Amino acid sequence: MRVLVTGGAGYIGSHTVLALLEQEHIPVVVDNLSNSSIESLNRVSEITGKPIEFHNIDLCDEHAFHSFMREQSFDAILHFAGFKAVGESVANPLKYYKNNIGSTVSLLKAINASTSTSPPKVIFSSSATVYGSSTELPLTETSKTGDGITNPYGYTKFVCERILTDTVAANPAFQAIALRYFNPIGAHESGRIGEDPAGIPDNLAPFITQVASGKLSELSVFGDDYDTADGTGIRDYIHVMDVAEGHVAALGVSEPGFHAINLGTGQGTTVFELLTAFEAVVGSPIPYAVTPRRPGDIAECYADTSLAKKLLGWSSTRDISKACADAWRWQSQNPQGY
């Protein structure tokens, strides 16, 4: 398949481009590089031995993007483009609403403007944050969404899913899949591509690896008084290459309409358990300090993955130890990122 990958130079996007190439698909990347590096794609080419077509375009620039789309034909579109830092979204919500929702609307307008009777399927990079404060565990695709979302980033994912649902309802030939990731961690096993956050990481795994490398002084553990085995929050951590392969598997879904599908492991891991797993890989203690809970954080969140197995024929294959080892290899070999 010829596949457009928006935001393909980012963390999950670049790993998915690699997975596409490994399965003989033809990815075409559109990214404005505002929060990513072209070096990630250079390294994907190095790993696979294959060139990657790249276009530096902002999806929110409708004139530029729609001109590009009029000259192209794709079998599918993987839509990763968007900002993803939860803390930044709270501090600057308008930036997130304009970019994340605007880029999705721009993409769908470009598809609607096409004269093709068979529009490309859209596979959207969504998030478990759409489940908000739902206490149902494990979380299934029918669990309530929208209520109790605590940050603008999460709301943009929820709104984009709604936009995709309404677009499908208006055009029965259109197909959209929202892949709801839980907590992607790790890196490609080569150590050549990985997560490269700007500033202090919002996510736990890169925070741990940067402390282990000495780039940051200590890890902040937000609360150790939850009703869990060791008092810390439980999350479903999934290897980024499993997430990437989930996207490739989603290309094979043929049923029209809108489908929301969880991508997780189905297993919960506490903060201290993840920290211990990293310490085993690093070979030394990683300093941390317990700080107060963050507003809006919940005690537990993990996926029911049965629908992914049924519709995609996919399930995660890499465990926490593998994810930690790959993340540490990336951090050790690339202490300053790209």
Active site residues: 153
Total residue length of the chain = 338
DSSP string spanning 202-262?
Answer: SSHHHHHHHHHTTSSS-EEEE-S-SSSSSSS-EE-EEEHHHHHHHHHHHTT----EEEEEE
Chain centroid to CA 57: 20
Strand 234-235 to 175-181 pairing? unpaired
In the DSSP assignment, the letter for residue 293 is P
Strand 2-6 to 237-239 pairing? unpaired
> What is the spatial distance between Cα 89 and Cα 260, in angstroms, rounded to a whole number?
23
In the DSSP assignment, the letter for residue 128 is G
Return the SS3 of 121: strand
- Token code pair at residue 302: 């993990």
Burial of 103 (0-12, 13-18, 19+ CB in 10 A): buried
Angle, vertex CA 37, rays to CA 277 and CA 99, nearest 5: 95
101 closest CA partner among 34, 156, 176, 179: 156
What is the Cα Rg of the chain in Å? 19
Task: Tell whether the torsion through CA atoms of 164, 312, 35 and 47 is positive or negative.
Answer: negative
> What is the spatial distance between Cα 272 and Cα 228, in angstroms, rounded to a whole number?
11
